[in-house]
């Protein structure tokens, strides 16, 4: 199984809200997996086993809008949409909330559009959307907001949010998307959880 965390390469994007997919993979690797990262021309990856299943964690280095290019190149290994889980930011969800889905439209997210296109329109891959919406997003253009860094208060919530998303990911792998949806889609991490 392949786990894609979406983001943009480069130091200027490293800690931005739009890079929450990259940040999530970095967090779970440093906290739980401790796997060495390997570098290919268009992606960074590491792998680990989860209850016997080999998982390949991938951070495309092609910029968000071209994320599907990495998927396309890996399809040569007979990858189908059912073989992947994509973790990415969602500006329509509040910070602290995740939403797991078995498939669906891109919702206007260019990285997801690119992956759907790589599968010739098949959108039947699981997703973990990590909410990034906050009060600032209402006062500035969306493009500026997602490419801005997290505030100190928001950053303090990220470990708990990523732990929640990790539990969701483990549940998808072990018990399926439907179980993960019912268990995690209604939960939200707040400052009170700190």
Active site residues: 18
Per DSSP, the three-state class of 25 is: helix
SS3 103: coil
- What share of residues in the chain are helix, strand, coil (percent, to 5)? 45, 25, 30
Count CA atoms closer than 13 A to 39's CA, side-chain side.
3
What the block records as the tokens of 9 is 């390469």
How many H helices and E strands in the chain? Answer: 6, 7
For 34-120, where are the alpha helices, taking DSSP H only? Answer: 67-74, 110-118
Phi-psi region of 104 (alpha: psi -120 to 50; beta: other; left: phi over 0): left
């Amino acid at each position: 199984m392949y786990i894609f965390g979406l983001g943009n390469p480069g130091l200027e994007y490293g800690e931005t809200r739009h890079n929450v997919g990259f940040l999530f993979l970095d967090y779970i690797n440093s906290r739980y997996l401790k796997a060495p990262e390997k570098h290919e021309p268009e992606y960074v990856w590491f792998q680990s086993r989860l209850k016997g299943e080999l998982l390949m964690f991938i951070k495309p280095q092609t910029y968000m809008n071209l994320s599907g290019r990495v998927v396309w190149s890996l399809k040569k290994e007979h990858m189908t949409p059912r073989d992947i889980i994509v973790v990415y930011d969602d500006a329509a969800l509040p910070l602290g909330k995740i939403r797991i889905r078995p498939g669906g439209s891109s919702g206007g997210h260019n990285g997801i559009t690119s992956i759907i296109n790589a599968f010739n329109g098949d959108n039947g891959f699981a997703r973990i959307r990590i909410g990034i919406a906050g009060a600032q997003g209402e006062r500035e253009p969306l493009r500026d907001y997602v490419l801005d860094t997290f505030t100190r208060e928001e950053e303090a919530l990220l470990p708990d949010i990523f732990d929640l998303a990790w539990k969701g990911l483990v549940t998808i792998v072990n018990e399926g998307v439907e179980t993960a949806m019912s268990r995690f889609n209604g939960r939200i991490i707040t400052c009170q959880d700190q």
